[in-house]
Amino acid sequence: MATQLDNIQINFLKNEPTSIVNKINKEINNKIKFNMKEITGKNVIFSSSAHRQPIIEYTNSYNFNIEYIKTIKEKKLIVAIDSSSIPIYDLDNGTIYASRVTAVLSLNGKPIKYLRFGPFLNYYNENILTQFQFIKLNQFNKNYSSVIESHIRNTLEKILIKELSNSLNNCIILIDGTLNIITSSKEGNIILKKSNENNNSLIGISKTTSDKSIIFTFPKLKSLKGSPFIFKIKSNERNIIKKESMLLKMRDDGLVFKTESITENIKLELGYLSHNDSYYRGYPESLRLAHNISIFTNFENICFKSYLHKNFSIKEIPSENTRDTILRWYWTLKNIN
């Protein structure tokens, strides 16, 4: 039963799980290495990153085959995972990034603990990228920052999911975004095997989507009452591991989110999720907290720069955002008027 939390989980909730934390840190440090020799004495400039676009909503009318979810008022541990990666400095042939990953644990509708790993410093250039089978890069100076950030975040999240799937039983592991980091990865079979052995389910909830085939359905579903409910959709993605895709609405005053799952009974798991997490506009609070705990502040950004200056003799050279410089006068006049 979901109400039966074993001793491992009780200790995990009450105490700092030192052995698990140390194991995860060791695994991350093996995968995410900071190539210090590559940056020593180099010239650098400030980095900037692109912004993701929200789900776009359009109006249209469809008949929906809605499947309603029954909230199951029993305890089941929710583990929400999110990560963050930001560019710190651009070099002539690469970029320095800072990253970290967070897990937030919720039970009975309340967050009860969080685990944060990092920050980790990473340096990527064209030679390093080819090792990860990225698209062929003719010039690294093009804007591939979002691709690299995604790679770093996926690596961190995959490690954390793997270790927690192996260490915990009868949990719902929530991921911010798609489950592609599992379903399209060769390591995914190992993660899935451990999850099945320990009766853990994997659910990914996306705040954004590039799937234009479903964006017309969001307004209609948003107006429907009687949540939580799901509307199953077909996925055209080809993955090593099969996953189930759907649109999910958890609360009547909430938004609609594209959701993916790897579990035998998604309606049952969503019933437990409905009770054991709290929600803001229908989005799990545990995922919101994981996001907020993993992101970097401006002060931390300054500290990274200070650390790099002090320890690696890098020299910051003047740089300017040409677009902002050219267009700033227009926005200044517009705000005055």
- Cβ contacts of 246 within 8 Å, gap of 6 or more: 230, 231, 232, 233, 258, 259, 260, 261, 266
The whole-angstrom separation of Cα 260 and Cα 179 is 7
Stretches in the chain below the pLDDT threshold 70: 1-18, 32-64, 126-145, 210-218, 235-240, 320-321, 323-324, 327-337
The whole-angstrom separation of Cα 250 and Cα 255 is 8
Q: What is the pLDDT of residue 147?
A: 78
186 found inside a domain: yes
Domain count, the chain: 1
Q: What is the pLDDT of residue 239?
A: 62
Given a contact cutoff of 8 angstroms between Cβ atoms, the answer to whether 92 and 119 are in contact is no
* Residue span of the structural domain in which 221 resides: 7-336
Given a contact cutoff of 8 angstroms between Cβ atoms, the answer to whether 107 and 77 are in contact is yes
1 found inside a domain: no
**β-strand pairing of 43-46 with 315-316:** parallel
Q: What is the pLDDT of residue 116?
A: 93
Q: Classify the C-alpha dihedral 64-67-71-74 as positive or negative.
A: negative
60 found inside a domain: yes
117 found inside a domain: yes
241 found inside a domain: yes
